[in-house]
Amino acid sequence: MTTMESLIGLVNRIQRACTVLGDYGGADGNSFSSLWEALPTVAVVGGQSSGKSSVLESIVGRDFLPRGSGIVTRRPLVLQLHKMESGAQEYAEFLHMPRRKFTDFALVRQEIQDETDRVTGKSKQISPIPIHLSIYSSNVVNLTLIDLPGLTKVAVEGQPENIVQEIEAMVRSYVEKPNSIILAISPANQDIATSDAIKLAREVDPTGERTFGVLTKLDLMDKGTNALDVLEGRSYRLQHPWVGIVNRSQADINKNIDMIIARRKEREYFATSPDYGHLANKMGSEYLAKLLSQHLESVIRARIPSITSLINRSIEELESEMDHLGRPIAVDAGAQLYTILELCRAFERIFKEHLDGGRGDRIYHVFDNQLPSALRKLPFDRHLSLQNVRKIVSEADGYQPHLIAPEQGYRRLIEGSLGYFKGPAEASVDAVNFVLKELVRKSIAETQELKRFPTFQAELAAAANEALERFREEGRKTTLRLVDMESSYLTVDFFRRLPQEAEKEKTGSPAPSNVDRYAEGHFRRIASNVSSYIGLVADTLRNTIPKAVVYCQVRQAKQSLLNHFYTQIGKKESKQLSEMLDEDPALMERRQQCAKRLELYKAARDEIDSVSWVR
Ligand code: GDP
Ligand code: MG
Which residues neighbour ligand 2 (ion) by CB within 5 Å? Answer: 52-53, 72-73
What confidence category does residue 538 fall into, taking pLDDT thresholds of 50, 70 and 90?
Answer: very high
Note the pLDDT of residue 595: 85
* Cα distance between residue 273 and residue 281, in whole Å: 12
Give the residue, by CA position, lying nearest to ligand 1 atom 8. 67
Q: Ligand 1, residue 50: give the atom nearest the CA.
A: 3
* Cα distance between residue 312 and residue 307, in whole Å: 9
What is the pairing mode between strands 77-83 and 131-137?
parallel
Q: Ligand 1, residue 185: give the atom nearest the CA.
A: 3
Select from 249, 253, 254 the residue to mutate for testing ligand 1; criterion: most ligand atoms less than 8 Å from CB: 249
Q: Ligand 1 mean position to 268 CA, how many Å?
A: 19
CB 335 within 8 A of CB 388: no
Beta bridge partners of 216: 187
Reply yes or no on whether the pLDDT at 584 is more than 80.
no
Reply yes or no on whether the pLDDT at 599 is more than 80.
yes
Reply yes or no on whether the pLDDT at 456 is more than 70.
yes
| 30 against 536, higher pLDDT | 536
What confidence category does residue 35 fall into, taking pLDDT thresholds of 50, 70 and 90?
Answer: low
Q: Is the CB of 69 under 6 A from ligand 1?
A: yes
- Residues 494-500: contacts with CB under 8 Å, at least 24 apart: 495/405, 495/407, 495/410, 496/405, 498/405, 498/410, 498/529, 499/404, 499/405
Q: Which residues, 6+ apart, have CB-to-CB distance to 110 below 8 Å? A: none
Note the pLDDT of residue 615: 45
Taken as a whole, the chain contains a residue count of 615
Region 483-511: what's the mean pLDDT? 61
Note the pLDDT of residue 566: 92
Q: Ligand 1 mean position to 187 CA, how many Å?
A: 9
CA 1 to chain centre: 41
Reply yes or no on whether the pLDDT at 369 is more than 50.
yes
Q: Ligand 2 mean position to 76 CA, how many Å?
A: 10
Share of the chain above pLDDT 70, in %: 86
Task: Report how far apart, in Å, the C-alpha atoms of 172 and of each of 129, 204, 460, 586 are.
Answer: 14, 8, 54, 35
Q: Ligand 2 mean position to 439 CA, how many Å?
A: 64
Q: Which residues, 6+ apart, have CB-to-CB distance to 391 below 8 Å? A: none
Which of 224-228, 242-246, 599-603 is the most confident on average?
242-246
Give the residue, by CA position, lying nearest to ligand 1 atom 9. 51
* Cα distance between residue 529 and residue 71, in whole Å: 104
Q: What pLDDT digit, counting tens, does each position of 40-98 carry?
A: 888 999 998 999 989 988 887 778 787 777 777 889 998 888 888 888 889 999 988 88
* Cα distance between residue 378 and residue 376, in whole Å: 6
Share of the chain above pLDDT 90, in %: 41
| 141 against 127, higher pLDDT | 127
Q: Ligand 1 mean position to 216 CA, how many Å?
A: 8
Give the residue, by CA position, lying nearest to ligand 1 atom 17. 249
Q: What pLDDT digit, counting tens, does each position of 459-489 carry?
A: 999 999 999 999 999 999 999 999 988 877 6
CB 74 within 8 A of CB 276: no
Compute how many other C-beta atoms are within 10 angstroms of the C-beta atom of residue 287. 20
Region 133-141: what's the mean pLDDT? 84
Residue 315 phi, psi (nearest 5): -60, -45
Q: What pLDDT digit, counting tens, does each position of 251-290 carry?
A: 998 898 888 899 899 999 999 999 999 999 999 998 998 8
Q: Ligand 2 mean position to 343 CA, how many Å?
A: 58
- The overall average pLDDT reported for the chain is 84
User: 224's torsion region: left (phi>0), alpha (psi -120 to 50) or beta?
Assistant: left
CB 128 within 8 A of CB 170: yes
Q: What pLDDT digit, counting tens, does each position of 159-212 carry?
A: 888 888 999 999 999 899 888 999 999 999 999 999 999 999 999 999 999 999
Reply yes or no on whether the pLDDT at 414 is more than 50.
yes
Q: Is the CB of 257 under 6 A from ligand 1?
A: no
What confidence category does residue 2 fall into, taking pLDDT thresholds of 50, 70 and 90?
Answer: low
Q: Which residues, 6+ apart, have CB-to-CB distance to 278 below 8 Å? A: none
Rg over alpha carbons for the chain, rounded to the nearest Å, is 44
Q: Is the CB of 187 under 6 A from ligand 1?
A: no
Reply yes or no on whether the pLDDT at 602 is more than 90.
no
Region 569-592: what's the mean pLDDT? 83
Q: Is the CB of 254 under 6 A from ligand 1?
A: no
Note the pLDDT of residue 25: 40
Which of 126-135, 392-401, 404-413 is the most confident on average?
126-135
Q: Is the CB of 54 under 6 A from ligand 1?
A: yes
Q: Ligand 1 mean position to 54 CA, how many Å?
A: 6
**Of 29-33, 277-281, 294-298, 545-549, which gets the smallest average pLDDT?**
29-33
* Cα distance between residue 183 and residue 198, in whole Å: 10
Q: In 3D, which of 36, 1, 599 has the Cα closest to residue 9?
A: 1
Reply yes or no on whether the pLDDT at 553 is more than 70.
yes
Q: Ligand 1, residue 247: give the atom nearest the CA.
A: 23
CB 47 within 8 A of CB 32: no
The bound ligand whose nearest atom lies closest to the alpha carbon of 47 is 1
Note the pLDDT of residue 403: 55
Give SS3 for 244: strand
Q: In 3D, which of 70, 116, 74 has the Cα closest to residue 250?
A: 70
With 0-12 CB in 10 A as exposed, 13-18 as middle and 19+ as buried, what is 591? buried
Q: In 3D, which of 217, 179, 218, 185 has the Cα closest to residue 201?
A: 185
What confidence category does residue 410 fall into, taking pLDDT thresholds of 50, 70 and 90?
Answer: confident
Q: Ligand 1, residue 220: give the atom nearest the CA.
A: 26
Note the pLDDT of residue 516: 63
| 264 against 19, higher pLDDT | 264
Q: Ligand 1, residue 67: give the atom nearest the CA.
A: 8
Note the pLDDT of residue 583: 80
CB 581 within 8 A of CB 329: yes
What is the pairing mode between strands 180-187 and 143-147?
unpaired
Q: Ligand 1, residue 245: give the atom nearest the CA.
A: 23
- Residues 332-337: contacts with CB under 8 Å, at least 24 apart: 332/574, 333/573, 333/574, 333/577, 336/574, 336/577, 336/578, 336/580, 336/581, 337/569, 337/577
Q: Is the CB of 150 under 6 A from ligand 1?
A: yes
Give SS3 for 551: helix
> Residue type at 288?
L
What is the pairing mode between strands 243-244 and 131-137?
unpaired
Q: Is the CB of 458 under 6 A from ligand 1?
A: no
* Cα distance between residue 512 and residue 606, in whole Å: 110
Note the pLDDT of residue 477: 96
Note the pLDDT of residue 470: 97
Note the pLDDT of residue 512: 47
* Cα distance between residue 139 and residue 60, in whole Å: 7
Note the pLDDT of residue 501: 40
Q: Is the CB of 608 under 6 A from ligand 1?
A: no
| 331 against 28, higher pLDDT | 331
What confidence category does residue 404 fall into, taking pLDDT thresholds of 50, 70 and 90?
Answer: low
Note the pLDDT of residue 505: 44
Note the pLDDT of residue 491: 65
Reply yes or no on whether the pLDDT at 27 is more than 80.
no
| 158 against 599, higher pLDDT | 599
| 514 against 557, higher pLDDT | 557
| 392 against 489, higher pLDDT | 392
Note the pLDDT of residue 185: 96
Task: Dump the DSSP string for 271-322.
Answer: HH-TTTGGGGGG-SHHHHHHHHHHHHHHHHHHHHHHHHHHHHHHHHHHHHHH
Reply yes or no on whether the pLDDT at 513 is more than 70.
no
Give SS3 for 46: strand
Q: Ligand 2 mean position to 51 CA, how many Å?
A: 7
Beta bridge partners of 79: 133, 145
Select from 247, 252, 273, 283 the residue to mutate for testing ligand 1; criterion: most ligand atoms less than 8 Å from CB: 247
